[in-house]
A and B are shown apart, each in its own frame.
Chain A
Amino acid sequence: MFRLHRVRGNCMAPSRPRVSLFITCLGDQFFPEVGEAAVKVLRRLGAEVTFNPAQTCCGQPAFNTGYRDEARAVARRVLDIYDDAEYIVAPSGSCTTMIRVFYPELFSGEPVLEERAKKLGGRLFEFSEFLVKVMKVTDVEASFPHRVTYHDSCHLLRELKIESEPRALLHAVRGLDMVEMQDFKLCCGFGGTFAVKFPEVSVAMGEDKLQAAIESGAEYLVANDSGCLMHLAGLIHRRNLPVRTIHLAELLAAQE
C-alpha cells in the first residue's frame, strides 16, 4: 500500500512517478540483485520503473583518474540517454555525485552542455534520497530482523549531504536493530582508482572500518554504494571476518 505523506501542506509527493533506473556499471555487472531490489521497492511504493538499455557508465573511472576527455565523451552520451526522463534513480551516491556535482564541471566552458548537465542533475536522485525527499516515504514496509550498522559513503555524505535519509529508512524497518559504529563517517578506503593505485593503504583503511563494524556487534554493514561494499566484502571474504555486507536497497526490499 502506497502511503502519501504531506509535507508543509503544499509539497505533495508524486502519486505514480515514472522512474528511469540508472543501474550503474558495477550494479549491472556485479550486483544485479541491488538493481532488482531497488525496482522491487520502487514498485511496492507505486512507482513505474523503466530501464533504458542504452546506458553503460557515468564516466567516473576516467574522471577520477584524470582522463577528462574520455570522461567527457562518456558523460556526453549520458546526457543524451536521459534527455526525456522525468526521474532518474541510481542506487549509488558515487554515480549520483559524478552526474550532479562533476558533470557541470566537466562541461564548464560549454554552456549548452553545462545547462543540460545541471538539468539532468536536478532530475537524478540517489535511491534513499528519492524515497525520502521525492516520494516522501520512510516506511517501505520492509522487515529485516537483524542488527545492522550503517556506513556513510563519502560522496553521498559530503558531496550530496545525504545522511539522515538512509537512517530514517532504516529506523522504519521492522525488527531492525540499528547501531552506529565507531567512526561511521570515516572513509572505508575504496576511493575508486585509489583502491588499485594504493592497495595496501586501501586495505588498511578497510580493515579499520570492518573492525569498527564488528565491534559494534552488527551482523550486517549496510551502505548505499556498491564500490564501498565490493571493497569491504572482498576483504571480509579474504579474511573470513564475522560480518556481512548488504546494500540499502536489498535491505529495504527484504520482507523476512
Chain B
Amino acid sequence: MSSHGIESGKIHEASASVLRDAHLQGAYKSSTLRLYTERLHAIEGVPGFERLRQRGRALKREVIEHLDEYASQFADSVERNGGRVHWALNAEEVCSFVLKIAQDAGATEVVKAKTMVSEEVGLNHYLESAGIRGIESDLGELIVQLADERPAHIVAPAIHKTRQDVSNLFVNHLKCERTEEPERLTAIARRALRECFARARVGLSGANFAVADTGAIVLVENEGNIRFSTTAPRIHIALVGLEKIIPRFEDLAVFLRLLPRSGTGQKLTAYTSILTGPRRHGEDGPEAMHVVLVDNGRVGMLADEKMREALYCIRCGACLNACPVYRKIGGHAYGWVYSGPIGALVTPSMVGLGAARELPFASSLCGACREVCPVQINIPDLLLHLRAKSQELPPARKPPGAPVSERGSMRFWAFVMLRPWLYRFASGLARLGQRLYARNQWIQKLPVYPASQWTAGRDFPALAKMTFRKRWKHL
C-alpha cells in the first residue's frame, strides 16, 4: 500500500480486494463495533446529549459563518501569548514553514504527535527529502509508519492491524522481542520513543481545538506522547486546520464532552492539554510556539454554502465507526488521508472533485453517520450535493460494457418517465426482451451495464407478467 499520491479513483478495485481479505474484515469488524458500542455506553450517562449535539452544532455554525473574524481573533490571541502564527495556503506552504523552523533550529528530526494535517500535506516525505526524520510518537501512527501505510482511520490509525500484525512489525523494524500483549507492545514503543522525546529540538502536533479568545491549543490523548512532544522540545509547532477554531474558552465545556465520548467512548481522555503560548519567565516548556493555520481546500469548502457544514467536523471518527460501508472496505480503499463518510466529503474539496469523484458514491446514504455525528452534520445530504457537482464535471470514462454514457441513460430514462404512453410501450418491449434472460421469474445474468453489475453477485427479479397499472382494472 503506497503512502503517497491520491488513489481515490481506485476505490472499486481496492474495496473488492479488502472484501476478499478475511483478516482485514475481521479486524475492521471488531474494532469499529467496539468503538461504536463504547460510544453508546458513554452517551447513556449524559441525559440531554441531544441538546449537547445541538449546542455543538450551533457553536460550530457561529464560527464557520464568521471564520475570518474568529481566525483573526485567534491569531491575535496566540501572538499576545508570545506565540507566532503562520498562514498556510496549501500543502507546499505548510511543509516549507515546518522545514524552515526545523532547519533554523538545527534539527535532524522532528518528534510528531498525531496530526492528520501532517498526513494531508505529506510532511514526513517532504522532511525526509531534506534529510530530516519525522518520528511518530503516537503508537498507531508509529505502527502505520513502520508498515509504510497511511492511517486507516481518523482517530485510530492502525485500526486494521491485529496484535499479531503489530508484533510482526515491531520484531522486524524495532528488533525487539516478540510479544502480542498490548501492554508489552506499548512498553516497547515507549522505550524506543523515550530517547526521542529527550533529544528532539522540535515537536510537532495538530490541534483538536483552537480557542479564539484565549489563543489556546487544546489537545486530547490517551498515551501522553502529545504531552511529551509539545512540552519537552524547545520548539513546538502546531498544525491547525482553520475549522478547528472555537469561539471561547468556555465552549470547551461543550466540545470536551462531545469529542472523547463520540470518538473513543471515554468521558475524558487520559490527558487533556491546554497550551497557551510558549513558556513564560520562570516556567518550563518550549521557548517558542509556532501555530500554522492551514487552508489547503478548507476555504474552498467555506465558499460553498452547502459544503461549509463539513467544516463543523471535530474529527472524532464516530461516523467511520457507524458506517456500514467503512466497516466493510476500511480506510485505505478511500485512497487518501481521510476516510469514511467525512473522508468522502473533505477529500474532494482538498484534492479536487475530479481526482475523487467516486467517493461521494461509495455510500448507500443510510444516514447512520448523521445519527452519531456530535455536531449533527447532514452527511448524506452533502454527499448528494457532491454527487450533483460531480455530474457537472466533464463525463467520466464510460464504464466497460456500457452501450451509452451514464448521462445519456439518465436523459433517456427521464424522457420515458415523462411520457406515460412511452413508459407503457417500453414496459411491453422490456417484457419481450427479458424472455431471453428470464427463467422462472428470475434473471441470473444481464449483459448490459449497469444491470450486469447487479447480476454479478445476485439474481434480478424478472419483470412481473402484468404491471400493476394493467392489473388495476381488475382490482
Contact with B along A175-194 (1 / 0, CB 8 A): 00000000001110111111
Whether A154 is near chain B, meaning CB under 8 Å from some CB there, is: yes
Whether A204 is near chain B, meaning CB under 8 Å from some CB there, is: yes
Q: Which of A54, A59, A205 has the most CB of B within 10 A?
A: A205
**A234 pairs with B364, CB closer than 8 A:** no
**B387 pairs with A74, CB closer than 8 A:** no
Stretch at the interface among B83-91, B130-138, B202-210, B406-414: B406-414
Cβ-neighbour of B420 out of A53, A190, A195 (below 8 A) = A53
**A39 pairs with B423, CB closer than 8 A:** no
Alpha-carbon separation in the docked complex, A30 to B443 (Å): 12
**A186 pairs with B16, CB closer than 8 A:** no
Whether A233 is near chain B, meaning CB under 8 Å from some CB there, is: yes
Cβ-neighbour of B464 out of A29, A62, A77 (below 8 A) = A29
Closest to A206 in B: B458
CB distance from B99 to the nearest CB of A (A): 40
If over half of B's interface residues share one DSSP class (helix, strand or loop), that class is named, otherwise mixed; here it is helix
A159-B367 contact, Cβ under 8 Å, with A51-B472, A74-B414, A196-B453: yes
A63-B384 contact, Cβ under 8 Å, with A198-B15, A204-B19, A205-B324: yes
Whether A31 is near chain B, meaning CB under 8 Å from some CB there, is: yes
Q: Give the chain B neighbours of A196 by CB distance below 8 A.
A: 450-451, 453-454
**A57 pairs with B417, CB closer than 8 A:** yes
Q: Which residues of chain A from 74 to 108 have a CB within 8 Å of any chain B CB?
A: 74, 77, 105
A39-B365 contact, Cβ under 8 Å, with A196-B451, A196-B453, A204-B328: no
Q: Which residues of chain A from 129 to 159 have a CB within 8 Å of any chain B CB?
A: 154, 157-159
**A29 pairs with B467, CB closer than 8 A:** yes
**A237 pairs with B459, CB closer than 8 A:** yes
Whether B427 is near chain A, meaning CB under 8 Å from some CB there, is: yes
**B457 pairs with A199, CB closer than 8 A:** yes
**B365 pairs with A191, CB closer than 8 A:** yes
**B366 pairs with A158, CB closer than 8 A:** yes
Q: Which residues of chain B from 397 to 440 have a CB within 8 Å of any chain A CB?
A: 406-407, 410-411, 413-414, 416-418, 420, 423, 427
Q: Give the chain A neighbours of B366 by CB distance below 8 A.
A: 154, 158, 187, 191
**A32 pairs with B471, CB closer than 8 A:** yes
Whether A255 is near chain B, meaning CB under 8 Å from some CB there, is: no
CB distance from A32 to the nearest CB of B (A): 4
CB distance from B27 to the nearest CB of A (A): 15
Q: Give the chain B neighbours of A73 by CB distance below 8 A.
A: 414, 418
Whether A230 is near chain B, meaning CB under 8 Å from some CB there, is: yes
**A203 pairs with B458, CB closer than 8 A:** yes
Closest to B427 in A: A29
Stretch at the interface among A3-11, A64-72, A118-126: A64-72
**A154 pairs with B388, CB closer than 8 A:** no
**A201 pairs with B325, CB closer than 8 A:** yes
CB distance from B6 to the nearest CB of A (A): 19
CB distance from A81 to the nearest CB of B (A): 10
Alpha-carbon separation in the docked complex, A56 to B417 (Å): 6
Cβ-neighbour of B458 out of A35, A55, A185, A235 (below 8 A) = A235
Contact with B along A16-50 (1 / 0, CB 8 A): 00000001010111111101100100000000000
Q: Give the chain B neighbours of A35 by CB distance below 8 A.
A: 468, 471
CB distance from A42 to the nearest CB of B (A): 11
**B370 pairs with A234, CB closer than 8 A:** no
Q: Give the chain A neighbours of B453 by CB distance below 8 A.
A: 195-197, 199
Q: Give the chain A neighbours of B328 by CB distance below 8 A.
A: 201, 204-205
Alpha-carbon separation in the docked complex, A189 to B328 (Å): 11
Whether A231 is near chain B, meaning CB under 8 Å from some CB there, is: yes
A199-B410 contact, Cβ under 8 Å, with A36-B471, A63-B384: no
A158-B370 contact, Cβ under 8 Å, with A29-B467, A66-B388, A77-B418: yes
**A-B interface contact total, Cβ < 8 Å:** 176
**B414 pairs with A51, CB closer than 8 A:** no
Whether B288 is near chain A, meaning CB under 8 Å from some CB there, is: no
**A30 pairs with B463, CB closer than 8 A:** yes
Whether A128 is near chain B, meaning CB under 8 Å from some CB there, is: no
Cβ-neighbour of A70 out of B414, B457, B466 (below 8 A) = B414
**A154 pairs with B365, CB closer than 8 A:** yes
A67-B410 contact, Cβ under 8 Å, with A194-B364, A238-B458: yes
**A154 pairs with B371, CB closer than 8 A:** no
Q: Give the chain A neighbours of B420 by CB distance below 8 A.
A: 53-56
**A194 pairs with B461, CB closer than 8 A:** no
Whether A200 is near chain B, meaning CB under 8 Å from some CB there, is: yes
Q: Which of A23, A59, A200, A230 has the most CB of B within 10 A?
A: A200
Alpha-carbon separation in the docked complex, A33 to B472 (Å): 11
Cβ-neighbour of A193 out of B361, B367, B457 (below 8 A) = B361
Whether B318 is near chain A, meaning CB under 8 Å from some CB there, is: no
Q: Give the chain A neighbours of B367 by CB distance below 8 A.
A: 154, 157-159
Q: Give the chain A neighbours of B391 by CB distance below 8 A.
A: 65-68
Closest to B467 in A: A28
Q: Give the chain B neighbours of A190 by CB distance below 8 A.
A: 364
**A238 pairs with B457, CB closer than 8 A:** yes
Q: Give the chain B neighbours of A200 by CB distance below 8 A.
A: 15-16, 19, 456-457
**A65 pairs with B387, CB closer than 8 A:** yes
Q: Give the chain B neighbours of A57 by CB distance below 8 A.
A: 417
Whether A61 is near chain B, meaning CB under 8 Å from some CB there, is: yes
**B469 pairs with A62, CB closer than 8 A:** no
Could you jot down 5 A-B contacts, CB within 8 Å? A23-B468, A39-B475, A61-B410, A73-B418, A201-B15
* CB-based closest 5 A-B pairs: A191-B364, A66-B387, A187-B366, A234-B458, A32-B468
If A196-B450, A204-B328, A235-B457 are given as contacts, then 10 extra A-B residue pairs at C-beta distance below 8 Å, sorted by A number, are A23-B469, A32-B471, A56-B418, A56-B423, A66-B360, A70-B413, A191-B365, A194-B363, A198-B15, A198-B362
